[in-house]
Amino acid sequence: MEKIILTGSEGLIGKKIYNFLKKKFKVVGLDIKKGHNLVNEKEVLDILKKNKDAKYLINLHGYNDHLSVNKKRSTSNSYQAFLDFHNINLYSFYLTNINFIKICKKAKGIINFASLYGIQSPKHHMYKEKKNIFYVTSKYGVIGLTKYLASLYGKKININAIASGGVDSNINKNFKTKMLINIPKKRMMKTEELFGVIELLCSSKSSYINGSVITIDGGYSSW
């Protein structure tokens, strides 16, 4: 049974993905709720050395303004907000990616979760409070990081990104109505609709998929 390291395993999406993957893989779940700090290089190195037999890394963790406990900080445009978003959403991805490649010698693939807002700007009129600019730039950075590393290490390992839309959960009714107008499928995504792509990227069937950004948004970005 191959081993997968899944970050953000305790999140809204992460829990369901963890439960799906553990049916076919040995899954190591990492999450801030479990006390893991993926911005700390020493801790990242220690985790990877203990799991150097891992074949896949899925980065699903992140810092989001609408989910942040510290709402005041996450909606500001301060230097501290810049650091918060980019440290958690980008620098931690760099640390896990580059060290996974170096330490896990038989690794096959990395999946970095970006965001729909890593490929295009939010539609500002839909938001009562605009999405934080640093959330957007950090997610664009995830895609840049993915492509950069894929071009360097593609002979050894496949490195791809997923840009997904919003999941159907406890979303404000007015916001959801505005969002659905812009989605050709006329509904939000179900977490289960990520399973097929993840399973593909964690298999030999994706052997020639490298440096790609797979968009799963019901057609939102098509217009």
Model confidence pLDDT, tens digit, residues 186-219: 999 999 999 999 999 999 999 999 999 999 999 9
Contact status, residue 175 vs residue 124, Cβ threshold 8 Å:
no
Residues with catalytic annotation?
135
Report the predicted TM-score, pTM, of the whole model to 2 decimal places.
0.95
Q: What is the DSSP letter of 155?
A: T
Place of tokens 């939102």: 220
Pick the closest to residue 205 from 213, 197, 193 (CA basis).
197
72 membership: H or E segment, kind and range: helix 71-74
The whole-number average pLDDT for the span 24-43 is 98
Residue ranges of domains in the chain, CATH in brackets: 3-222 (3.40.50.720)
